[in-house]
Structure 1
């Protein structure tokens, strides 16, 4: 009788622990969500700068293999982070090569860092969110952008 009670107790505790819902909602499909971050320039926000990064974003978004693009322009570099559609993940190197080729041909004077890495994309979106805060300085943002670029270079 005692073994049966212990067994029932363990089964109930296991079921209660398995049904625990501590995870934040939406974690399971975060890779599939589209955030559509606006392209940003850390430098002066002149019409020419905004047109440039807007055009870059449109050019990269024109690839049917992609579904979300983030463009950040710093003093010297432009970070282009994107998410690849699930069934196209087998062709990621080919997609990145096509994007780099298009950007080099269309904007030869710019220095691009192109990444399909999800962590780089998340860091770029987080930086864009931080830039909405008026207390977040452009020097701090440029430093963070350089850290993201360094992280990208370490990953390759």
Structure 2
């Protein structure tokens, strides 16, 4: 009886640790767009770096237009319980670095995906200023409700 209980526990522990080892993700680097695109994205690039320095954040996407900075962060699974705190901390870090900017931070997956699409289009020069403004307006609407 004791042997079967011991082996059951041993197998359970082995399965759990094996799942954790396989589940570790690679570090994802943000897409840095720079100044040579439709809009100068150096502010967004710097903001992404600030947010990515947070322990809870796994991946980050973002763009800026004039004094507006739009950032979406992907958070570690366990840290999803603390989304408000993470958003506030990210907002404060960016606001401290760029006090004159209007900072918009989200942890919503839809906003993350839309910012990712917009980043790619800006990076590949496949979008003009007018369409960037439309996309940003759409993303802003997602962020507000």
| TM-score of the two chains, using structure 2 as the length reference | 0.71
Which of 83, 98, 106 does residue 97 from structure 2 map onto? 106
Gaps of 5+ in 1: 1-31
| Matching residue within 25, 35, 38 for 2:31 | 38
Query: Which one of the candidate residues 71, 74, 83 is aligned to 1:92?
Result: 83
Task: Tell me how far 1:74 sits from its aligned partner.
Answer: 1.4
Aligned to 2:13: none
- Equivalent of 1:66 in 47, 57, 62: 57
RMSD: 2.3
Unpaired segments ≥5 residues, structure 2: 1-24
Counterpart in 1 of 2:18? none
> Larger Cα Rg: Structure 1 or Structure 2?
1
Aligned partners of 1:43 and 1:75 also within 8 Å = no
- Residue number in structure 2 paired with 1:10: none
Equivalence for 2:45: 54
Change in CA separation of 1:152 and 1:138 when aligned onto 2, cut-off 3 Å: same
Q: Number of residue pairs matched? A: 119
CA contact (8 A) 2:62 2:119 kept: no
Taking structure 1 as the reference length, the TM-score comes to 0.66
Deviations for 1:77-97, whole angstroms, at most 9, x for unmatched residues? 110111000011111111111
- With CA pairs under 8 Å and 6+ residues apart, which has the higher RCO, 1 or 2? 2
The answer to whether the 8 A contact 2:68-2:103 is kept is yes
Q: Distance in 1 between matches of 2:120 and 2:38?
A: 16
CA distance in 1, matches of 2:29, 2:56: 15
Mapped partners of 2:50, 2:110: distance in 1: 22
Q: Is the 8 A contact 1:36 1:70 kept in 2?
A: no
Partner residue in 2 for 1:147: 138
